[in-house]
Chains A and B, each alone.
Chain A
Amino acid sequence: MNWFEQLLNNRALETALPEAIWETVVMVGISGIATVLIGGAIGIILHLTRPGGLTPMRVLYGLLSSIVVNITRSIPYAILMVALIPFTQWLVNTSIGPIAATVSLTIATAPFFARLVETSLREVPTGTVDAAQVMGLSNGQIVTKVFLPEALPGLIAATTNTIVVLIGYSAMAGLIGGGGLGRLAYNYGYQRFDSQIMIVTIVVIVIGVQLIQWIGDKIVAAVDHR
């Protein structure tokens, strides 16, 4: 049997790979949505409350910026996911499986995404905000009609980046019970010396990341009118 015939007859691949892909999709999907919502909100609040922002609030900005965002971002994910096990247990009543993994994934990536959102919003020219204020738009309208649409290309690029980071983190989460492609590569590729599984997993992840980047770039090009 040559290498390819072996590959096609690999039972682990047939049963474990689809399940692992699905688990990764669930982990990345749920934590991706949660990250965009939570991180997006934090990013918007950071931008509005920063000194010189639309509604400067020194204390809230300082709290969010230094404590929530910077401290969380400075903890390596491998440590964060272990440290969060009790919290995860309390929140979703389990500490293993893809759903449990989304808790630490969201907490790890939301601050990262928040910073990217803040940076994108900062690139909206202040002149357009002045114009909106003179028109009599409320602060809420300025967020929904000026900040978010004007920063949309940057926000989508930030989302693409975050999803790619999430795929990387989710592989790590797989090691402590998250499941998914990381677990597959570790269990079969590392512990059972099945290099075929290892190679296939790498190929799947590379293709997945390429696909997400390609889709992200397409959307950015479609919404960018600058």
Chain B
Amino acid sequence: MISVRELTKVYRQPARDVVALDNITLDIDDGEIHGIIGRSGAGKSTLVRCLTLLDRPTNGSVVVGSQNLTAVSDTELRNARRRIGMVFQHANLLSSRTVADNISLPLESGKKKKADRRAKAKELLDLVGLSGLEDTYPAQLSGGQRQRVGIARALAADPDVLLCDEPTSALDPATTDDILKLIRAVSDRLNLTVVVITHEMSVVKTLCDSVSLLDNGKILDFGPLSQVAANVNSDLSRALLPLPTHEAASADLVIEVVGSQDAVNIPIATKIAAEHSVTVDIAAANIETLGDARFAHYLLAIDSDTQINLTGIEATLVRNGYSIRTRAKEGVQA
């Protein structure tokens, strides 16, 4: 549905050129909810502006559906943009218009009659759970309600793609949950492809099917949530399944492991202890459900009176479906 190729954006400044996006390539499938996570300054905002062509990329292409947005004229671009609904951090509603008029604004450039537009606005307000608020003004609504109106407006022109730029960053945790559930619900119901740009890992955890890690203008990690989380060597995995603070440095051998699905049910510490006659202490652990899969992230501290068979232990872990990252203490032989 969305295919980004070698997207580069350079801001030319008098003193030096700032590379905000560096050769971004990204594919997002139909009906998928894709999260792009990064800290501030990573290039998230620039990426959003380039995806909608609010800023012209310096290089590369953005293809939505079958249309290359970077190659069309301004008029065609305006039409193409109607296939993208966008949700902003601060909703960006017009204060001079009622809720219904805000929602029907994207339809005003089309041929729809006023009564039809009003009917569409009402239908969308029902969908986002704000029935009966047609004639109120945005200033009378709470932040969460405003964001619901923002979502309704984004859906007005029946888009194929919903682009959400930090949709919950200005909301409290409870409202954040409600809005994320709403985005999930509308995307399932209308079969939308959704891109969510965020700095909050919890948004990715609760909402996304797949995820990209954006840092310093580059995509460092990319993939389906379950796949990315299951790889203990990925930065995203450690961010998705954070370990509590721990103290394991004194053990002979420290191995960090992540297992998913069936592997979670295996008593892995006992198994290693029995098979390799060592003592295994779980120094830190985090077991979580992401999407519909369970994940276990352990820090195993292994001690023994005799020589430790590192290769054997690693083989046992891998055989049981664990992804491993060995942090051996000095002196332990591989």
Contacts and interface: CB of A to CB of B under 8 A. Distances in A.
Contacts of B84: 134
Interface residues of A, number: 21
A145 interface: yes
A152 B96 CA distance: 8
Contact of B96 (A125, A136, A141, A223): A223
Contacts of A127: 88, 90, 92
A135 B106 contact: yes
B97 interface: yes
Contacts of B109: 135-138, 141
Interface string A22-37: 0000000000000000
Contacts, number: 67
**Overall SS of chain B's interface:** loop
B95 interface: yes
Given A133-B81, A135-B157, A128 B94 contact: yes
Given A125-B92, A145-B105, A150-B94, A135 B139 contact: no
A130 B137 contact: no
Nearest to A153: B96
Contacts of A145: 94, 105, 108
A130 B52 CA distance: 10
A145 B153 CA distance: 15
B55 to A, nearest CB: 10
Nearest to B156: A135
B217 to A, nearest CB: 21
Interface in A41-57: none
B54 interface: yes
A137 B75 CA distance: 10
Given A130-B54, A135-B106, A136-B80, 6 more contacts: A135-B81, A136-B109, A137-B106, A141-B108, A145-B108, A225-B96
24 contacts: A127-B90, A128-B94, A130-B92, A133-B81, A134-B84, A134-B86, A135-B81, A135-B106, A136-B79, A136-B80, A136-B109, A137-B78, A138-B78, A138-B109, A145-B108, A149-B96, A149-B97, A150-B94, A150-B95, A152-B96, A223-B96, A225-B95, A225-B139, A226-B95
Interface of A: 125, 127-128, 130-138, 141, 145-146, 149-150, 152, 223, 225-226
